[in-house]
A and B are shown apart, each in its own frame.
Chain A
């Protein structure tokens, strides 16, 4: 199908983008267009105007210091997959990026766009929670920072207020010896997941995170499993995953809970 009519303009800076969005309640930002394009073509989204932010230099920046790496929101999944950006996550970012959709989509789709779109089965919302990321957000009230855990509120719903855009994603550098696991259950390569398990264990930094993703709402941190991971290691944690999944997904049917349990267990298995 073809989209409903919209106007189009390119923003040259973050300030310009914020101003253009503020001027029209029905304007929407577009970066890679890999999530928004299908919605436009299916007329699920009918914005009055698209504000193209993909070329804004500030949103394409990538830098790092000794503790934190910062990735501009308009970096593409392909750039992350290919290691164009120095990676401080021991390869987790590249592995997650490479499993998203298909190369043609990854060549255009962006990290910030994906997280802002907040498809419940997408990879970045879950992975960024496991990595303890922070989103740097720009809007009419200025700049603010939102932890990844708590950024996605539900299916296609985030903590972004009207007129705000994600500017960058900040990630703490994983320490030497840190390990991670990421397992996505989907029937066909590149599909949205039926279940995701994401684990980050950085003992030197005192970090143990286990996240259950691709549920109906936001990704769910499995705090009990994470505590067990820190205290008893991946095998000990794997033994209690099923109990915590049953508690956090009380309305899920047995198959759904099994899928999520297995995804988390296999991610833990990668940490062993």
Chain B
């Protein structure tokens, strides 16, 4: 077991980890931050997406020990983020979620799309969302929510 230091949602955290512990496992099992979900554990479904050193990354194929010294923001860490607040409202208004399993990853990816690309055509939004799978909604509401928030940005 190896001691690591990692900043999670702005707070410094010390943990003892086996090298094989996924970042997602550290967040969910050790820190109780269960908003991050595990779907495929291969990096393709997007349910585990968090911000790692400021950029979206898969927490299922990031190992906690590899993140020693890094900054992580999970879905629980956006309470004061104005863009995330807009996205949450838009997801609700446009019926962008049903079961909610994909939603935390969708929101983090959506926030990155709007912040990085701004108001881009729907086709581009769909391309950028290709790494976040949803089994419930058929994506229509999710894309509409993102378009609404991105408009004019």
B112 with A38: CB separation less than 8 A: no
A8 with B63: CB separation less than 8 A: yes
Q: Considering residues A50, A102, A189, A190, which has the most beta carbons from chain B within 10 angstroms of its beta carbon?
A: A102
Cα–Cα distance between A8 and B64 once the two chains are bound (Å):
11
Is B41 interfacial (CB 8 A cutoff)? yes
Chain A neighbourhood of B52, CB < 8 A? 107-108
Chain B neighbourhood of A1, CB < 8 A? 41
Is A205 interfacial (CB 8 A cutoff)? no
Chain A neighbourhood of B63, CB < 8 A? 8, 33, 37, 50
Given contacts A41-B60, A108-B57, contact A103 B43 (CB under 8 A): no
Contact mask for chain A residues 16-59; partner B; CB cutoff 8 A; 1 contact, 0 none: 00000000000000100110011011100000001010000000
Minimum C-beta distance from A76 to chain B (A): 9
Chain A neighbourhood of B84, CB < 8 A? none
Chain B neighbourhood of A189, CB < 8 A? 126-127, 130
Is B128 interfacial (CB 8 A cutoff)? yes
Q: How many residues of B contact A (CB 8 A)?
A: 31
Which stretch of B18-26, B91-99, B142-150 is in the interface? Answer: B18-26
Size bracket of the A interface: 20 to 34
Chain B neighbourhood of A40, CB < 8 A? 20, 61
Within 8 A of A (CB), among B8-43: 18-20, 22, 25, 41-43
Minimum C-beta distance from A125 to chain B (A): 19
Chain B neighbourhood of A102, CB < 8 A? 44, 46, 128, 130-132
Contact of A103 among B22, B41, B128 (CB under 8 A): B128
Within 8 A of A (CB), among B27-78: 41-44, 46, 49, 52, 55-58, 60-63, 65-66
